[in-house]
């Protein structure tokens, strides 16, 4: 298969694509892949580091208010469509997959106009602007949340889940040991992770809760985010931190460590949801309020409704509310077991395989 993938800007658009590519190369080793992204997005580092060929285009999003910049956005879109058509002619893909971000809008639109099979993958429960636009032109639509179904033409939609889930599930038998962090493997571990850059409100709540966490029978590993680590350490000052609590700037290789946590505190991005449901990790979700259409709240509600997670909205987050939920889950083995089972029921450990089937279905429709 010759696969052209486009998606950029954030890890939420990139990591599912990379997980899909990894699985596709396992089942179809002769697959050739070209990734098209933006000149400024995270894909500029992540995609080449994964050994995948990358081409980039200059794009920008529409402003929500009236702005002259929107005329530039239209110009850049039209220019990018022209550029995308050249890429498509040169690469000659069998199918084109879009995973979100403005760049995928130009690429998938160009592919559809060239009568190349097209598929979009929507990771969130609230459909993004680009995928709404593309839904009129593409052949197939793959979704990760049931709530997204009625936001698309229903005859094109297939529930597949997030390919990241299958990638993470494959590492469920991790032999990672917490002793490398100075913690114990025979004590339940709560991981608190606000994203690679950290989340100020989460960090503040944890800093204020650390004196109490230090008294608990469970252990806590808290990742502040690389650029916020020094500030957090400054805030902690002379705070006495128990041996059961570790404060680190970042946690590398999360898929290897998540099978070894009893519960997780995190944002409610699509990739995180895919990972925790693939492994059945009880989670306290703190949705980011700074995302389009408040989609992280909708993502979190899907788990809360199924008793797979708890949710604290950021306006209600403080040390007291965090400790209340953490103690409720970490001090109750039966509750964690029930949450884990409910989470696994929502997981899609074969999501990448399902998406590969949708790609082939789109190709078959053009034969």
* Annotated binding-site positions for UDP-N-acetyl-alpha-D-glucosamine: 10-12, 124, 196, 251, 296
C-alpha span between 92 and 85 (Å, rounded): 10
Strand pairing report for 140-143 and 95-100: unpaired
Q: Tokens for 29? A: 């080793």
Please give the C-alpha separations between residue 67 and each of 72, 74, 238, 254, 293, in angstroms, as whole numbers.
10, 12, 49, 40, 20
C-alpha span between 145 and 137 (Å, rounded): 21
DSSP structure string for 323-343 = HHHHHHHHT-HHHHHHHHHHH
Q: Tokens for 112? A: 């559809």
C-alpha span between 184 and 357 (Å, rounded): 43
131, 309 in Cβ contact below 8 A?
A: no
- With a CB cutoff of 8 Å and minimum separation 6, the contacts of 124 are 12, 144, 145, 148, 270, 295, 298, 299
182: left (phi over 0), alpha (psi -120 to 50) or beta: left
Nearest to 1 by CA among 65, 72, 95: 95
- What secondary structure letter does DSSP report for 260? G
Alpha helices in 243-318 (DSSP H): 254-257, 270-279, 295-305
**HSE-up of residue 204 (Cα within 13 Å, Cβ side):** 7
C-alpha span between 207 and 239 (Å, rounded): 9
52, 78 in Cβ contact below 8 A?
A: no
User: Binding site membership: which residues?
Assistant: 10-12, 124, 196, 251, 296
Residue 225: φ, ψ to 5° = 95, 140
């Amino acid at each position: 298969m010759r696969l052209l993938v486009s998606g950029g800007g954030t890890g939420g658009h990139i990591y599912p694509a990379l997980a899909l590519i990894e699985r596709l190369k396992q089942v179809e080793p002769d697959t050739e892949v070209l990734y098209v992204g933006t000149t400024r997005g995270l894909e500029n580092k992540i995609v080449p580091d994964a050994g995948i060929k990358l081409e980039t285009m200059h794009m920008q999003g529409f402003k929500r208010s009236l702005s002259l910049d929107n005329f530039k956005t239209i110009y850049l879109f039209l220019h990018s469509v022209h550029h995308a058509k050249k890429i498509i002619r040169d690469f000659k893909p069998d199918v084109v997959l879009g995973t979100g971000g403005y760049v995928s809008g130009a690429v998938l639109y160009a592919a559809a106009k060239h009568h190349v099979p097209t598929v979009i993958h929507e990771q969130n429960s609230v459909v993004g602007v680009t995928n709404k636009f593309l839904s009129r032109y593409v052949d197939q639509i793959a979704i990760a949340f049931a709530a997204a179904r009625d936001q698309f033409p229903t005859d094109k939609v297939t529930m597949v889940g997030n390919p990241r889930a299958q990638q993470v599930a494959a590492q469920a038998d991790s032999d990672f040991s917490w002793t490398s962090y100075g913690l114990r493997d025979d004590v339940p571990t709560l991981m608190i992770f606000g994203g690679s850059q950290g989340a100020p409100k989460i960090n503040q709540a944890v800093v204020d809760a650390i004196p109490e966490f230090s008294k608990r029978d469970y252990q806590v590993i808290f990742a502040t985010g690389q650029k916020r680590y020094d500030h957090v350490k400054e805030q902690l000052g002379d705070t006495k931190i128990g041996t059961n609590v570790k404060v680190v700037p970042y946690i590398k290789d999360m898929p290897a460590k998540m099978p070894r946590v009893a519960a997780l505190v995190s944002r409610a991005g699509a990739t995180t949801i895919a990972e925790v449901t693939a492994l059945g990790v009880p989670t306290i979700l703190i949705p980011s309020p700074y995302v389009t259409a408040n989609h992280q709240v909708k993502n979190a509600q899907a788990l809360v409704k199924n008793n797979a997670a708890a949710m604290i909205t950021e306006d209600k987050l403080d040390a007291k509310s965090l400790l209340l939920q953490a103690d409720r889950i970490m001090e109750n083995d039966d509750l964690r077991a029930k949450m884990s089972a409910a989470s696994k029921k929502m997981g899609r450990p074969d999501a990448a395989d399902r998406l590969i089937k949708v790609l082939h279905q789109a190709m078959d429709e053009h034969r």
